[in-house]
């Protein structure tokens, strides 16, 4: 497959921070390529660069050096409006603490990104399909506070998939769950990668999760090393 098949490409990406007058390395010469349907696991300790990498890919932060391409288009070359549109339509985010809106029902939480992305047409069928996919069709009218942690994370996955994104960025999505629910979420995300064709990057500190990825990296002190 050629480089044009890559959904996400990073080339020599560096990110620096300043703390107490000292230069802190967030990302150190990171390069990687991911294609449609890849399930990539990024493992490393807290402060190792996992979240920084996801934020740069998602356009929430900008690298100081290097290039990030989403389907061949430079994220650095986008203006603020274009980066916002990228996050609304092509990048889905899944967080450790779910980040569901507590005043909205399950249905409304999944509907919101469709409205923001101007994809409301056909949205009712899409929401119903996703709720059935994550096994929560019977909880459509429930509020987040009425759900378990595992159920809330399944809603978060459905919400992230709603606009049919190219990629899902998951930051410690099992970190707030017990082992049984964590395994269920991992299986669901792997199937979502296969069934919906989304490229998934899952960041974790848990080495046991590495085996779930078809692409696997460790990141420490901002430096990436492949384990596969």
Q: With contact defined as beta carbons under 8 Å apart, do 11 and 31 qualify?
A: yes
Is residue 21 within 8 Å of 188, Cβ to Cβ?
no
Q: Report the predicted TM-score, pTM, of the whole model to 2 decimal places.
A: 0.90
Residue 4 confidence (pLDDT): 59
Distance of CA 186 to the CA centre of its chain: 13
Query: Which of 206, 167, 185, 171 lies closest to 39 in space, CA to CA?
Result: 167
Tokens of 6: 């890559």
pLDDT at residue 216 in the model:
94
Report phi then psi at 108, rounded to 5. Answer: -70, -35
Are the C-beta atoms of 216 and 227 separated by less than 8 Å?
Answer: yes
Q: What pLDDT does residue 195 have?
A: 85
Give the Cβ contact number of residue 209 at 10 Å: 21
What do you get for the CA distance between the two ends of the chain, in Å? 18
How far, in Å, are 49, 157, 207, 221 from residue 187 at the CA level? 25, 12, 16, 29
Q: What are phi and psi of 213, to 5 degrees?
A: -90, 145
Rounded to whole angstroms, the Cα distance separating 107 from 112 reads 9
Closest-CA residue to 114 (of 155, 163, 77, 71): 163
Residue-by-residue pLDDT tens, the chain, 228 positions: 445 589 999 999 999 998 888 888 999 999 999 999 899 999 999 889 999 999 999 999 999 999 999 999 999 889 999 999 999 899 999 998 889 999 999 999 999 999 988 877 778 999 999 999 999 999 999 999 999 999 999 999 999 999 999 999 999 999 888 888 899 899 888 888 888 888 999 999 999 899 889 999 999 999 999 775
How far, in Å, CA of 223 to CA of 214, rounded? 20
Query: Looking at residue 82, what is its pLDDT?
Result: 92
Residue 117's Cβ-side half-sphere holds a number of Cα atoms within 13 Å equal to 25
- For residue 200, the surrounding DSSP H or E stretch is strand 199-204
What's the helix, strand, coil split of the chain in %, to 5?
Answer: 40, 30, 35
């Amino acid at each position: 497959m050629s480089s044009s098949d890559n959904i996400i490409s990073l080339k020599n990406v560096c990110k620096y921070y300043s703390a107490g007058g000292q230069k802190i390395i967030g990302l150190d010469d990171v390069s990687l390529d991911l294609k449609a349907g890849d399930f990539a696991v990024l493992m490393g300790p807290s402060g190792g660069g996992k979240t920084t990498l996801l934020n740069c890919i998602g356009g929430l932060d900008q690298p100081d050096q290097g290039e990030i391409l989403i389907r061949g288009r430079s994220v650095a070359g986008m203006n603020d409006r274009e980066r916002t549109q990228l996050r609304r339509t092509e990048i889905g985010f899944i967080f450790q603490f779910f980040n569901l809106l507590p005043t909205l029902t399950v249905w409304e939480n999944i509907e919101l990104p469709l409205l923001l992305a101007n994809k409301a047409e056909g949205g009712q069928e899409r929401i119903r399909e996703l709720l059935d996919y994550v096994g929560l069709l019977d909880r459509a009218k429930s509020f987040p506070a009425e759900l378990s942690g595992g159920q809330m994370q399944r809603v978060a996955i459905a919400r992230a998939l709603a606009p049919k994104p190219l990629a899902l960025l998951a930051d410690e999505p099992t970190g707030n769950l017990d082992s049984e629910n964590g395994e269920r979420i991992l299986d669901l995300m792997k199937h979502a990668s296969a069934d919906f064709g989304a490229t998934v990057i899952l960041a974790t500190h848990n080495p046991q999760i590495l085996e779930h990825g078809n692409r696997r990296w460790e990141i420490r002190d901002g430096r990436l090393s492949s384990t596969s």
